[in-house]
Structure 1
Amino acid sequence: MPETMNSSVKIGARAFATAVLILLGLMIVSGLLTVFLPSGEYERVQLEDRSLITPGSYEEVEKPDYPVWRWFTAPVEILFTPGNVTLITLILFLFAVGGSITILEQIHVMDLLVQMLIDKFQRNKYVLMAVTIFIFMALPSLLGIYEGLVPVIIFVVPMARRLGWDSLTGLGMSLLPMAFGLAAAISNPFTIAVAQTIADLPLFSGSWLRIIFFVLVYIALFLFVYRHARKVERKPESSPCHTADAELGEVEVHDFSDTHIHLVRRGLIWFSVWIGIALVVVLGVAFFPDLGFLAFPLMGLMFLVGGFGAGVFSGHRLARVAHIFLKGGLNIIPGAFLIMLAYSVKYIIDSGMVTDTLLFMAADAIEQASPFQSVLLIYGITLVMNFFIGSASAKAFLMMPILVPLADLVGITRQTTVLAFGYGDGFSNMIFPTNPLLLIALSFTVVSYTKWLKWTIPLQIIMAAFSLLFMFIAVQIGFGPF
């Protein structure tokens, strides 16, 4: 019997076209930078598995032969470059999660899971909202668990819809606090620890100011999401994604027979066990950072085994489960293409050898500025570099060796430099379409990038104001120890 695959793991045609146009425009801008900026590079020294820039070693070099037509072949070229493992792993992870989640939707395991949560928290749903936001903020802030939380978004969004809210509320309870927790990091081993180590600061020093900032950001974020949810409750059509949510159909409680619910519960238990193992892997990476390269492959495998097993234990034939998985995985292809376009932006400026040029120009501006102006420039430079380089630790290894001596020169503390670096890195992850995790998370929902941007901009302005205030305080008090 034919079945309808009305999966939430699907990008709408209009949202996809808009995102493609934005990313193509950014690729062209990156290409123009390779034409109009001189090519140059810093000397680098190898430190274990990382390379550090040598301050003061920048030299212009001969422009590489990088024709315009290669700007547009970059999405394909990056699949065959030495650094392609991360990209290919992300795409395979996306395929595995997309297919597995579609299985859970079609066999009603997702319905049962969400229904159980609703039954437990229906009368305390705003408490559930507050706790969920706190958990999604605290894990990146304290332990550096960031990418591993992305699959959990798939469960939070339908739960939010079942509670009478919309998909944006679900993302505001999960995706937003992930990035904001990264920006308001207290002891993140991949951002704070790396930056402080390069700056020769005591590990996790200055936490008192970061804790105050974390609390302030949490309160602002909760109030933002709370106000939106209350508005949607009163007037559902006021939601920017009301039409897209409506196309998914009304969120109704599935009518389980006794036999059916027994089978579906077996599938849910099986899936929960494997997701539990995946969470252990994520926690393991937080404590053993050298195992970070295994996180996405192992999580993808856990979803694959968990999804297929849930289908079989729920009483479905393996062939049908495989068919559902393939359909769900194919729905992710547009999202994978967007990730390839996003990665191309950095690939283009690297190929034109202007990445170090941008950093050199920024360093020159900092050297001539006042202390507070220097902090603002460090914040702004990190924002710009975050557009091209998503990894916080990679940016720290690239930028901190240059920023630290400049900070000493202009009279700002190294701790303030680390603070400005963190603020510039985290919040913008939820704005820049070059961030693959943002694209992955949105591809699991009906929310387009443009609707997401319009909804979050007011909150981003508030976060920028908070950042400026705390950077000003840090400069005034000589935030240290040094």
Structure 2
Amino acid sequence: MSQTQSHAVDPSAIKKTWQMPDTLILIFIVGIFAAILTYLIPAGQFDSQQVTYMMEGVEKTRTVIDPNSFAYATDEKGELVYNTVGFFASGGGIGLMNFPFEGLVSGSKWGSAVGVIMFMLVIGGAFGVVMRTGTIDNGILRLIDKTKGSESLFIPVLFLLFSLGGAVFGMGEEAVAFAIIIAPLMVRLGYDSITTVMVTYIATQIGFGTSWMNPFSVAIAQGIAGVPVLSGMTVRMGLWAGFTLVGMAFTMMYAAKVKANPESSYSYRTDTYFRQQEVDETQSRWGLGDTLVILTVVAATLWVVWGVVMHAWYIPEIASQFFTMGFIVAIIGAVFRLNDMNLNDAAAAFKEGASVMLPPAILVGCAKGVLLILGGGSTEEASVLNSILNSAGGLISGMPAVASAWVMYVFQSVFNFFVTSGSGQAALTMPLLSPLSDIAGVTRQVAVLAFQLGDGFTNVIVPTSAPLMATLGVCRIDWGDWAKFCWRFMLLLFILSSIVVVVAQMLGFS
């Protein structure tokens, strides 16, 4: 027996550190709190009204809350009505112990919750097939090979690529694997591991926070908020380009500083590991099959955008088009034996990709169940939620609309510390902030924008973000060292995002 094996570890000697509860636990706690509120807050209701507005020369209408119509429900005796929720309810009713199931099966294929959940599973499966071909991986490795000796291009091109991945299909966790490959090379080129984190995971979050089409973030938030899915993409494309350039410039200035003086690096101590390591220079694969996969993904993306703009495609149509993309990619992968892939592998990849989306899908359903406890989100039926919205609206009613929009952004930024899942946060906050935005005079598109920016950008620093901590881990960076570097970048993003939200509200972004 070796010396290592001969010494048993005393469990009592292991220091236990506090961990943030899982998002599902947080939602259940919120569910308990919501059930308690039904005993404390009387039910109220709003009237709705139709408003008309012009968009691109076309008159359109929308149903919104009439903020002056709120009234508490009363019984025959004139006493306030409390829609109390019990421990369990039968006959399709809502109770504390059956709110997850009721939330999961609520809605229709056109929206929350079951429609959004199925949308997430199909999209996740389709992109799972794309990732299984190895084309995305090899494309990045090929890029690394091509930019060796051209350090001036290496950082901006990588940053752009990862930012695009975050914007198009919610790339985040995938950055961890690439950080393992890129970190030794980055140090060898005279930079550091922090630069690696910036061009991989942080770049994906810049794209995620400003995405115009991410099906796991903006599409879900817009669907829940009742905003046409993928609407406002022109503005968001501009934001993506602007914030990507800002992140790119910040990274390049820091990298140039480190190259000129390596000891100025915040990760200089921990980068010793990579300085002593030989870099694997394995060449990446690229062939006709990889080209066809990339062309299929690009064509599918353009096709979906065309369908949304020209034919108002919604969740069912968009999911079907991306499923078709996955089907075609599976055939290409099998024919060209990409990563030794066959059709059985493609089927397994689809199921694995869908399974990755199952946790956030469950969160969407459970969060919808919390909303059902509070009344289901209908403004015309008496509920606790309507009473809460009225009180919240009254709290900020004295504020200018631009101030209300900014407060929404701050709220989303803080809330992301507790729920870092984009889809989970959308499911928890958008059902509340959407009608609240009507009361406060904030457009729902701006409310979605506040969610996007608040959710995406704080992922660059919050220690509760699993992908961030994983990326820092493979780059051997202590979170404390990362925070010392990142707070300036986080402050810059916060200031720019605040300006964007305020200006968007002032210009009536809708």
TM superposition score normalised by structure 2:
0.59
The 1:422–1:169 alpha-carbon spacing in structure 2 relative to 1, beyond 3 Å, is: same
1:34–1:349 Cα contact (<8 Å) kept: no
Q: 1:237 to 1:216 in 2, by over 3 A?
A: closer
Report what 2:450 is aligned to.
Answer: 424
8 Å Cα contact 2:367-2:428 kept in structure 1? no
SS of alignment partner, residue 52 of structure 1:
strand
Residue number among 399, 407, 428 corresponding to 1:380 in the alignment: 407
Q: Which has the larger radius of gyration?
A: 2
1:364 counterpart (372, 394, 411): 394
SS at match of 2:386: helix
Cα deviation, 1:198-231, whole Å, max 9, x if unaligned, reads 9xxxx99xx9xx9998887555433454467679
Match of 2:32 in 1: 31
1:171 aligns with 2:198: no
1:290-341 CA-to-partner distances (Å, cap 9, x unmatched) read 21423344224313431442133127877x5524752674376365224412
Distance 2:308 2:205 in 1: 19
Q: Distance in 1 between matches of 2:489 and 2:237?
A: 20
Q: Choose between structure 1 and 2 for higher RCO, CA contacts under 8 A separated by at least 6 residues.
A: 1
CA 1:362–1:111: 2 relative to 1, 3 Å: closer
Counterpart residue type for residue 85 of structure 2? Y
Deviation per residue, 1:42-84 (Å, 9 max, x gap) = 2335788964222222233444453356556544433311231
Name the residue aligned to 1:40: 44
In structure 2, the partner of 1:60 is 72
Show CA shifts across 1:322-379 (max 9, x none): 247526743763652244125423430343124433332222122344x4xx643442
Question: CA 1:92/1:446 → structure 2, altered by over 3 Å: closer, same or farther?
Answer: farther
1:224-263 residue pairs with structure 2 within 5 A? Answer: 224-226=250-252, 238=267, 252-254=280-282
State the SS of the aligned residue for 1:81.
coil
Contact 1:104 1:310 in 2 (8 A): yes
Change (3 A) 1:211 1:237: closer
Aligned residues: 405
Q: In the alignment, is the contact (CA less than 8 A) between 1:91 and 1:336 conserved in 2? A: yes
> How far off its partner does 1:268 sit?
0.9
Per the TM alignment, residue 24 of structure 1 is displaced from its structure 2 partner at its CA by 1.4
More helix by share: 1
Q: Please state how far the C-alpha of 1:99 moved relative to its aligned partner.
A: 4.4
Give the partner amino acid of 2:33.
L
Q: Which runs of 5+ in 2 are unaligned?
A: 1-17, 52-59, 74-80, 89-94, 108-112, 187-192, 213-217, 376-383, 416-424
> What is aligned with 2:318?
295
Alignment match, 2:302: 280
Separation in 2 of the partners of 1:298 and 1:170? 28
Relative to structure 1, is the Cα distance of residues 327 and 219 closer, same or farther in structure 2, using a 3 angstrom cutoff?
A: closer
Letter in 2 for 1:53: I
Pairing 1:158–2:184 present: no
Q: Which residue of 2 aligns with 1:314?
A: 337
CA shift digits 1:397-423 (9 cap, x unpaired): 63443223xxxxxxxxx8xx7897476
Cα distance in 2 between the residues matched to 1:175 and 1:220:
13
- Runs of 5+ in structure 1 lacking a partner? 1-16, 140-144, 183-187, 405-413
Correspondent of 2:115 among 85, 93, 108? 85
Counterpart for residue 4 of structure 1: none
Q: Name the structure 2 match of 1:401.
A: 438
- Contact persistence 2:409–2:454 (CA under 8 A): no
Matched position secondary structure for 1:67: coil
Matches within 5 A, 1:83-482: 83-101=113-131, 103-105=132-134, 109-124=135-150, 127=153, 129-130=155-156, 148-150=168-170, 158=178, 161-162=181-182, 164=186, 166=196, 169-180=199-210, 217-218=243-244, 220-226=246-252, 238=267, 252-254=280-282, 265-285=287-307, 287-288=309-310, 290-293=312-315, 294-314=317-337, 320-323=342-345, 325-326=347-348, 329-330=351-352, 333=355, 335-353=357-375, 354-369=384-399, 371=400, 375-381=402-408, 384=411, 389=426, 398-404=435-441, 421=447, 424-430=450-456, 459-468=489-498
Residue aligned with 2:64, SS: strand
Identity over aligned residues, as a percent? 14
TM-score, length basis structure 1: 0.61
Matches of 1:81 and 1:55, distance apart in 2: 27
Aligned equivalents of 1:339, 1:114: Cα separation in 2: 29
Distance 1:451 1:177, change over 3 A: farther
Cα 1:462–1:130, aligned 2, differ >3 Å: closer, same or farther? same
Distance 2:279 2:97 in 1: 42
Alpha-carbon distance between aligned partners in 1 of 2:508 and 2:62, rounded to the nearest angstrom: 27
8 Å Cα contact 2:409-2:450 kept in structure 1: yes
Preserved contact between residue 125 and residue 354 of structure 2 (Cα < 8 Å): yes
